[in-house]
Amino acid sequence: MKKHIYDLFSYDTHVSFEFFPPKTNQGRKQIYQSIAKLKSMNPDFFSVTYGAGGSTAETSLEIASALTNLAQVTCVAHITCVGMNQDQVKELLKGLEFHGIANVLALRGDPPKGETDFVKPENGFQYASELVRFIRQNSDMGILIAGYPEGHKENPDRDDDFKHLLEKIDAGANGIITQLCFDNAYLFELKDKLVNAGADLPMIAGIFPISNAVQIKRVVELSGATIPDDLMAGIEKFGDSPEDMEKFGTEYAVNQVKELLKGGITHFHFYTMNRHQQTRNVLYQLKRYFPRLNFW
């Protein structure tokens, strides 16, 4: 197993999977089943999200540790600036290192439930770029950052948001995972901007295979992603039939990845929602492009 994400970026293509910490025992069972299935596909890494304000700290660590030590795959732990001062971030990094976790996705984070604005903790960090710099100075972690093809929802000025993405890169990031995006034009635009700015690091495109119409409304609310007309038409047509909706969502993701590959974007991060079958189905249809993946 390659431990650091930057050791993996020499490959032509890349596939990674994102999980979130489960809240219930049923959810726990589901995520461990999904880890077992998706691990057998030989992806490049798995990432585990970190709930607003550290609300999932324990479960996030449990899952990240299980991925690293039981499943023995490369793991990226998401960490945020919310509610943590510099000493607490150092402690968190030490804890991750203790569990053998060698990579983080460094984020500012969203405010805890019920709060609208992010508040910088005393002796903490205001922006993800500050967190990235601190991690780079205080650890040997591989560091990923978030990028927003459509701009970040709090910043109406996309050029200004891109400037701040470059600041995170300058602070020491090894790669970018993009916000989920359904419109490839935005992903190609972000990639071009990075190339033009001389930013020589991998951009991993965030792909969300849609499986139901209710979930997509919530996802759009949280991410600010736009829904292209053809996707909206499909959601309207198939939204009432879970089976047809999932089939359509799978086809949409397959076509999206195909087009990105043709245009030179070759790194992909799948938002799995802790499920395995749909992500597997998408990649199975694309298997000739990903020779390092295995299928059950």
Active site residue 130: no
Q: How far is the CB of 285 from ligand FAD (least distance, A)?
A: 24
- Residue 181 interacting with ligand FAD (CB under 6 A): no
15: β partners? 268
The span from the first CA to the last CA of the chain, in angstroms, equals: 20
Residue from 22, 43, 54, 109 binding ligand FAD (CB under 6 A)? 109
Residue from 15, 63, 146, 207 binding ligand FAD (CB under 6 A)? 146
Stretch that binds ligand FAD, among 63-71, 153-161, 228-236, 239-247 (CB under 6 A): 153-161
* Cα distances (angstroms) measured from residue 181 to each of 101, 131, 224, 257: 28, 25, 9, 11
- Residue 62 interacting with ligand FAD (CB under 6 A): no
- Residue 274 interacting with ligand FAD (CB under 6 A): no
Residues ≥6 apart with Cβ < 8 Å to 271: 18, 180, 206, 207, 208, 209
- Residue 14 interacting with ligand FAD (CB under 6 A): no
- Residue 272 interacting with ligand FAD (CB under 6 A): no
The 10 Å CB-count burial string (b at 16+, else e) for 248-278 is bbbebbbebbeebbeeebbbbbbbbbbbbeb
Instruction: Show the site string, 189-228: x = touches ligand FAD by CB under 6 A, - = not.
Output: -----------------x----------------------
- Residue 152 interacting with ligand FAD (CB under 6 A): yes
- Residue 107 interacting with ligand FAD (CB under 6 A): yes
The 10 Å CB-count burial string (b at 16+, else e) for 48-69 is bbbbbbbbbbebbbbbbbbbbe
The 10 Å CB-count burial string (b at 16+, else e) for 282-293 is bbebbeebbeeb
Instruction: Show the site string, 34-53: x = touches ligand FAD by CB under 6 A, - = not.
Output: ---------------xx-x-
What the block records as the tokens of 247 is 């089939």
Q: How far is the CB of 245 from ligand FAD (least distance, A)?
A: 24
Q: How many residues bind ligand FAD, per CB under 6 A? A: 23
- Residue 102 interacting with ligand FAD (CB under 6 A): no
- Residue 162 interacting with ligand FAD (CB under 6 A): no
Rounded to 5 degrees, what angle do the CA atoms 35, 36, 41 make?
90
Q: Which is nearer to ligand FAD, 171 or 245 (CB)?
A: 171
Q: Which is nearer to ligand FAD, 86 or 285 (CB)?
A: 86
Q: How far is the CB of 206 from ligand FAD (least distance, A)?
A: 6
User: Which residues lie near ligand FAD (CB under 6 A)?
Assistant: 49-50, 52, 78, 80, 105, 107-110, 127-129, 146, 152, 154-155, 161, 164, 168, 177, 179, 206
Catalytic positions, written as ranges? 18
